[in-house]
């Protein structure tokens, strides 16, 4: 979810431009160590944080780590509720909270037998799926299936699909064709260290570039801004001291370049 003050990025109503944005983070984050303390996948976390920081600057329509309850048809997003008990647009971020919501949904649904009640109180892993990102048709709407351009999953080697993961993510997307897998290979992350946005390595980026330039928007500035955001997010997340400071400066500089290219003032975002 982007900040309330964030402007919408100049994106067409298709998923290809979103794939290019995610690929820019995949290529930059591919250079960080694969695992940190406690087995945390740093590359994956770097992509997540980078996309979230970009949304704070301009809303890409990409929503990161949205949990879905697979017991509904179609699968339903698990969203925070306001003081009146109404769903907001903000996904539940806490894993335990998501599990408790699922248990509550089961109990509040059709009458259950005692066996089913006992079963529902335990965690059933395939009841909950959390894809890396979903792309929304309407950034101001909920991440329900009718508002999805597609589901995006990022895999860094040697990571691969888990049991039934591809099937379940296809259910969330509504169609297997709307499930997009991105890897460093698929994003063509060439070179020992890609910290700049390389347009020739991104899917459908030439088409997107032409569309932006038709609107009078500088692609080179957009590209450089996203590249700075990606590198800055990585430095901020994985470095301390001067590294984190430099990362923050890169994020702010990237944000300024993005908003300037789109003719948007920076006051709302920073």
Q: Is residue 85 part of a domain?
A: no
How far apart are the C-alpha atoms of 140 and 181, rounded to whole Å?
25
How far apart are the C-alpha atoms of 190 and 10, rounded to whole Å?
27
* Greater model confidence, 221 or 150: 150
Q: Is residue 42 part of a domain?
A: yes
- State which residues form the domain around 23: 7-66+131-261
pLDDT value, residue 111: 47
pLDDT value, residue 5: 54
* Greater model confidence, 57 or 118: 57
Q: What angle do CA 71, 172, 166 make, to 5 degrees?
A: 100
Q: Is residue 74 part of a domain?
A: no
- Partners of 64 in beta bridges: 133
pLDDT value, residue 172: 98
Averaged over 24-30, what is the pLDDT?
82
Dihedrals phi, psi of 91, to nearest 5 degrees: -65, 150
How far apart are the C-alpha atoms of 28 and 221, rounded to whole Å?
18
Q: Is residue 243 part of a domain?
A: yes
Judge whether 233 and 247 are in contact, CB under 8 Å: yes
pLDDT value, residue 256: 52
How far apart are the C-alpha atoms of 198 and 253, rounded to whole Å?
18
Q: Is residue 119 part of a domain?
A: no
pLDDT value, residue 192: 43
Q: How many domains does the chain have?
A: 1
Q: Is residue 199 part of a domain?
A: yes
Query: Would you say residue 34 has pLDDT above 80?
Result: no
3-state secondary structure of 200: helix
Q: Is residue 152 part of a domain?
A: yes
- CA-nearest of 87, 84, 169, 79 to 133 is 169
* Greater model confidence, 139 or 191: 139
Averaged over 177-183, what is the pLDDT?
93
Averaged over 32-59, what is the pLDDT?
75
pLDDT value, residue 161: 93
- CA-nearest of 187, 178, 177 to 134 is 178
Q: Is residue 90 part of a domain?
A: no
What is the phi-psi region of residue 24: left when phi exceeds 0, alpha when psi lies from -120 to 50, beta otherwise?
Answer: alpha
């Amino acid at each position: 979810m982007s900040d309330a003050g964030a402007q919408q990025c100049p994106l067409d109503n298709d998923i290809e431009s979103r794939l290019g944005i995610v690929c820019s983070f995949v290529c930059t984050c591919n250079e960080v160590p694969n695992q940190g303390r406690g087995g945390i996948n740093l590359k994956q976390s770097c992509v997540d944080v980078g996309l979230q920081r970009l949304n704070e600057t301009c809303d890409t329509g990409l929503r990161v780590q949205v949990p879905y309850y697979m017991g509904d048809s179609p699968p339903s997003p698990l969203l925070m509720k306001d003081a009146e008990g109404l769903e907001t647009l903000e996904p539940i971020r806490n894993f335990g909270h998501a599990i408790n919501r699922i248990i509550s949904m089961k109990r509040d649904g059709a009458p259950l037998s005692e066996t089913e009640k006992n079963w529902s109180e335990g965690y059933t892993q395939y009841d909950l799926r959390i894809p890396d990102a979903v792309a929304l048709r309407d950034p101001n709407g909920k991440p329900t299936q009718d508002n999805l351009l597609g589901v995006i999953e990022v895999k860094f080697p040697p990571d691969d699909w888990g049991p039934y993961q591809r099937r379940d993510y296809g259910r969330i997307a509504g169609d297997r064709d709307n499930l997009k897998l991105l890897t460093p290979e698929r994003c063509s992350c060439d070179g020992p260290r890609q910290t700049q946005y390389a347009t020739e390595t991104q899917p459908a980026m030439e088409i997107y570039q032409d569309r932006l330039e038709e609107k009078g928007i500088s692609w080179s500035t957009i590209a450089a801004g996203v590249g700075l955001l990606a590198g800055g997010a990585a430095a901020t997340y994985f470095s301390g001291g001067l590294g984190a400071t430099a990362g923050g400066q890169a994020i702010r500089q990237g944000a300024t370049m993005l908003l300037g290219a789109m003719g948007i003032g920076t006051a709302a975002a920073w």
